[in-house]
Structure 1
């Protein structure tokens, strides 16, 4: 790779100054964050709620609206974003002190530990400090360039990864919390909402995933399971309810095949539900100005 054309220290001609280079420490991190208008951290206190699928389709939907988007997968032990975007086997270009994210389209770039593993079958056995260091490196050493949105997909829970992501991105980062309607998920997600506030960030909104069933034959949504638990939790916590996404067999199929649901099925009931979820994100102010 020639130069560091997208890193925070790049000169206007795309070269990296030999005297400045990719500067270490917080100054470099702040320069990187200053080029990202909005940071959205997608998280959940419960596993199995479809959080990565939601995060990936949010990023794709925003990019299809003409926005410059970065998608950062910080699920160290289960990096699945490369599969969902049919990017398995891709490798980021490496510079001396910078990495280029993997492009999915002209508007969407992706970074994941999955791109760096020599053997995808090998377990990643890391303690907290190593994971924290990787997440910070993925923010400040990746050549994200100027972004309208950086969408971060976190593993479930309130541990090292979501904590490090929010602390690295700073207090202007917004959380999108994903739940399913069932009470066992609501209990855990309630803790996630509390976690975000304790860290010092704000919840952009809550998404209720797998809410009802989208019939592939008639196209209508049937509430064969519980529905509405996410909206009730949002009211209880005083946060915005972004919407419901029904269970749709095509969502699972598209994930397995590696093509984003929102690129090919946005006219379906599920696609329209996802479009409603990103609508408030399209009207966010430029939060990077608060960091300068």
Structure 2
């Protein structure tokens, strides 16, 4: 490493490290005092590593507690299994200085590394599988690597910043066994560069291996490396003739299964032993492709699918101006019925949720909560509980243990009336009359808390809040956590209820509301648009791993395959007129879905955009420009003409409407669209059948934007097992 002095101890953390001069490895070093008192500098190579790995989508460490457990064999065959999908680009980085074996196993040991102005070029063993190994730099294949720490660390850094990977979906990093100096180096470099998704830890059923792997797990926890899961190699032998299973290494303490249960880790796969595997690896020939039907190859295929879980929507819950329930929303959208009403109290048209007295079929039944509970909770919490009940029941999870269920429900605006009333009490000398529930009542994460308390959800409690993009933000963050194995399932979405004089006047002063007080004039993408109709509501979706949903034979509304964030850094409440923020988030969501250019994918996908389109003059125009640039010719609509703008709930309610469009093969057109602002995008009106050609898949982009520069896009598709 460039920040390791030549006379440093072997395990020097580097002069730029926070532990410089303070760690146990610094004891006795002649530089210890200078490092401990000197000014810490930012390693200039960190930025180079971040830039180099920016085109690599997922970076995974493959770790083991000791040698001889088959870590490198697992890495090689996992690489082949991932590369079996020709749409994936896979790379292997071999920094196992103790014994670099990837070049031999992949049959490219005699290749030479080509150095160009772009950097070192990796060696390709297949069109979509490449490798870079320390072995390529050795003069003799049997040469022992006897290097001191600084030289090893410098080589690791060079591999990270100088290899020209190009666009890669999965980079598997084969590390030395144990927890050596090399591990510390690569973890520090990758984490500082923001370039590490997590680690897969390989072990065997033997207790001696499990004892060592516990140290590896502890290392990951101390260095903040996410553990994706554990692979138990050589778990058993399956006879190719009779399929009888035999334990090769009988476990005395329950093997990796018990260890994972005790440490609350996921056991990703138990790999069976196959004598052919080692033989083919030694010869540098592909085992996975030749023995595709073998138990070992099937296990590697299963492991590849678990690297990043597919995420599906299995339950939906909605509270909207149409009433309580997804059916109320869907039937209202299809009939184009107008649920927006003039409020005498507020003096403006709003989208209020009907009560049971107003709508016997779909009205909100407040009698479910006692008067005391209603005083304790803000209205947003009540709406969230109603939506959660439907989503959980719809997913058929009402009788499940929710220890592994997380919640991410956001709300954009606090209970303004509670704040106003408490302020008046203080002003009038009645501070002692302020409710003890006042503080929790005004917190925007409390709806999530009430839901988790009711159902015993212990899988994590979050509340992503980004103004009107909140609902989509919560869904996107939950999808990310499920993908990488942090959470198993999550109830996610947004809620908002601020139909009160304070909010109305605030939005009026911003000139965000439709100005004609007694006419329903929310007109997305229309030339005569002048602002939105303020509404309330909640939208929650149950997100879970596709494999779990299929095991339960659940109904799957849609698969969430992409999530993109953008920001134009332009203005607090207005987007830039060129649509930069929305362009960035759409492009990033498509990239996350492994779709770089939809212009060249029309044969593969039938595409629809459910736009944010709030009916504001600047907002709709900017979004239209971004859709025109990125998605020319695709069908586009917004449902805010039907239900108004539900603020923090908008993104999730509209995600539910989009998933229903996918499952029902119907696109809901834009209501109140008389004079489109542009002819350059395909704005649909009315109910439009969503038709697909043979071998074509329905794909939808859901845009959701918020004040402060929050731009979010989700990509949904119909689920294909």
Bin for the TM-score computed over the shorter chain: 0.7 to 0.9
1:30 aligns with 2:50: yes
Alignment partner, residue 289 of structure 2: 263
Please point out which of 117, 130, 134 is paired with 1:113.
134
1:128 aligns with 2:149: yes
Equivalent position SS for 2:116: coil
Q: Which string of whole-angstrom CA distances, capped at 9 and with x for unpartnered residues, describes residues 225-284 of structure 1?
A: 325511111111111110101111111111112113222112111111111212121437
Q: Distance in 1 between matches of 2:564 and 2:184?
A: 23
1:163 aligns with 2:184: yes
1:206 aligns with 2:243: no
Q: Which region of structure 1 is more displaced relative to structure 2, 88-97 or 32-41?
A: 88-97
- Following superposition, the deviation at residue 140 of structure 1 comes to 1.2
Please point out which of 160, 171, 175 is paired with 1:154.
175
> Are the equivalent residues in 2 in contact too, given 1:33–1:169 (CA < 8 A)?
no
Q: Distance in 2 between matches of 1:275 and 1:63?
A: 10
- Following superposition, the deviation at residue 189 of structure 1 comes to 0.4
Equivalent position SS for 2:185: helix
> Are the equivalent residues in 1 in contact too, given 2:235–2:248 (CA < 8 A)?
no
Structure 1 runs not aligned, ≥5 long: 1-23
Alignment partner, residue 92 of structure 1: 113
Q: Which protein has greater RCO, CA pairs closer than 8 Å, 6+ apart?
A: 1
Alignment partner, residue 190 of structure 1: 214
Q: Distance in 2 between matches of 1:187 and 1:102?
A: 36
Aligned residues between the structures: 268
Q: Which string of whole-angstrom CA distances, capped at 9 and with x for unpartnered residues, describes residues 161-189 of structure 1?
A: 22222222226331000000011110000
Alignment partner, residue 69 of structure 1: 90
Q: Distance in 2 between matches of 1:43 and 1:289?
A: 30
Trace 1:17-56 onto structure 2 (pairs within 5 A). Answer: 25-56=45-76
Q: Which string of whole-angstrom CA distances, capped at 9 and with x for unpartnered residues, describes residues 95-150 of structure 1?
A: 25711011111111100011111122222210112111111111110000111111
Q: What is the TM-score with the length of structure 2 in the denominator?
A: 0.36
Q: Which region of structure 1 is more displaced relative to structure 2, 279-288 or 246-255?
A: 279-288
Q: Distance in 1 between matches of 2:45 and 2:189?
A: 12
Q: What is the TM-score with the length of structure 1 in the denominator?
A: 0.86
Q: Distance in 2 between matches of 1:71 and 1:166?
A: 16
Structure whose alpha-carbon radius of gyration is higher: 2
Equivalent position SS for 1:88: coil
Q: Distance in 1 between matches of 2:291 and 2:212?
A: 31
Structure 2 runs not aligned, ≥5 long: 1-43, 311-479, 485-562, 566-587, 589-721
Alignment partner, residue 301 of structure 2: 275
Please point out which of 228, 239, 247 is paired with 2:265.
239
Q: Which region of structure 1 is more displaced relative to structure 2, 264-273 or 36-45?
A: 264-273
Q: Distance in 2 between matches of 1:154 and 1:25?
A: 21
Q: Distance in 2 between matches of 1:164 and 1:233?
A: 27
User: Cα–Cα, structure 1 residues 260 and 160, in superposed 2: closer, same or farther, change >3 Å?
Assistant: farther
> Are the equivalent residues in 1 in contact too, given 2:89–2:128 (CA < 8 A)?
yes
